[in-house]
Structure 1
Amino acid sequence: MNNKPLSKLYYNLVDDRILSVKNIDKEIKRRKLELETLHSSYERIEGIKSNRISKPTEWIIERYDSDVRLNSLFLLKESAEYTLEVLDDELGKMFYMRCYTHLSWEEIQNVFSFKR
């Protein structure tokens, strides 16, 4: 196992990802609303055949499936849920404390009485 310390940049990136998990459901809903709004603003030209889907529900589902941002949000949510499942109780509590209560790493360290 590699015991090299993480770089500050990598540490901050991981920390940002952990903190973004709390709002993931809001972000998914917001992105879906953005995609649905795109459809409602689309003007249909009568009399011209196109290869576009004409039913709104099908159009929205196609948008959901092909949207890179939405799919990445779903993957982030799934990854966070899986991570919580595989962590032991102590690490799960740390993840929860950092993500949902926004305690700093130093405060979490004090809660668990870790030494530096």
Structure 2
Amino acid sequence: MTTFDDRERAFETKYARDEEMQFRVTVRRNRLLGQWAAEKMKLTAEETDAYAKAVVQADFEEAGDEDVIRKLVSDLTAAGVEVDESVVRRAIEDHTVEARRQLMQAE
């Protein structure tokens, strides 16, 4: 039975590590998205930092990316930036890749 128990523990450990890594990628991605949007809105460095944190916080409203998409589209549109949902979705894809790359380099 110990071999089975060892395999089960190893699987649980891997699952927990994968979930933690996915969470870290999502948080990093949202921070990068906030910086991307802040640049488009021509915010100052201090405003950019605060806005990036606000985008990270927005992701905790509901599961999935829809809350972040709504925030970015709404804020960009309010700032007079021509943007639609497809542009934001593409930015999410691009920044997810970049966030994963940054985290892998850091390890």
Q: TM-score, normalised by structure 2?
A: 0.32
Higher helix proportion, which one? 2
Q: TM-score, normalised by structure 1?
A: 0.30
- Higher relative contact order structure (alpha carbons within 8 Å, sequence separation ≥ 6): 1
